[in-house]
Amino acid sequence: MKDRKFTYFVSDVHLGLDVADPGDREARFVHFLKTIPAEDTEALYLLGDIWDFWYEYRDVVPKGYVRVFSSLMDLMDAGVRVYFFQGNHDVWTYGYFEELGMVRLVQPALVRIKDKVFCLGHGDGLGPVPKGYMFLRGVFHNRVLQRLFSMLHPWLAFRLGKGWSKNNRLARHEEYVFKGEKEPLYRFALEFSSRRHVDYFVFGHYHADVRMALPTGAELIVLKDWIDGSPYLYFDGISTVGGYCQNSEK
């Protein structure tokens, strides 16, 4: 069997977010998936918030995204393993992605790729984050509240979820500035890598383009969002390389 060389990482595409041009964003993501050299790729890691709002009922899932799922399944049919993490916007997945063939991972996940150790996840809730955010995160992950929300008709539930997400995005008037060593994620990575060997920490969530060397010898990488661009990361077995998918197909 041919040794597959590449591993890809992408985060925070926010499919369905009605900001900027959602149709173009989806087309850019489909184009990115189609440009992955499947015959030379071992795995694709979706690091959360690929969907801006995703909520599954037992018999109902959000409509649309047909070309996205088709492109993902083409990769899997070609032997590429697709892993996904739940983000803070698409936390409510209950088995549909697994039915399609994807594998769910829980952060922080340690993965050995070739001879390097990666620590992966979405990035939310890691490190000493503010108590207010942890409370909200606890609400989103609460099984009882999830069950109560599922009693709403899908039309109303999706309307509320998408409205909340859009208003949350519009309330941010400026891009987030990563605070470096003061950031909870940095402090998490520093503490974690002081106890266990890690070569690369790769996360999303912060909507910032970050590469920082840690005193422990590890590197912290944060992937930017896809609201206006198409950033991704790939590992070629030797080093990690950032990429930017320029074109799209509609």
Residue 250 scores a pLDDT above 50: no
What does the pLDDT look like over 74-85, one tens digit per residue? 999 999 999 999
Q: For residues 105-124, give the mean pLDDT.
A: 96
Q: For residues 37-61, give the mean pLDDT.
A: 93
Which is more confident, 249 or 91? 91
Residue 98 scores a pLDDT above 80: yes
- Containing 81, the helix (H) or strand (E) segment is strand 81-84
How does the average pLDDT of the chain come out, rounded? 89
Which is more confident, 207 or 174? 207
88 token code pair: 């803070």
Residue 191 scores a pLDDT above 90: yes
Q: Which of 50, 87, 53, 91 is nearest to 71 (CA)?
A: 50
Domain coordinates of the chain in residue numbers? Answer: 6-244
Could you give the CA distance from residue 22 to residue 184 in angstroms, rounded to a whole number?
Answer: 30
Residue 29 scores a pLDDT above 50: yes
pLDDT of res. 213? 96
Could you give the CA distance from residue 96 to residue 165 in angstroms, rounded to a whole number?
Answer: 22
Could you give the CA distance from residue 5 to residue 28 in angstroms, rounded to a whole number?
Answer: 24
79 token code pair: 């032997």
Please provide the CATH number assigned to the domain covering 6-244.
3.60.21.10
Residue 28 scores a pLDDT above 80: yes
Residue 246 scores a pLDDT above 70: no
Rg (CA), the chain: 18
Q: How far apart are the first and last CA of the chain?
A: 35
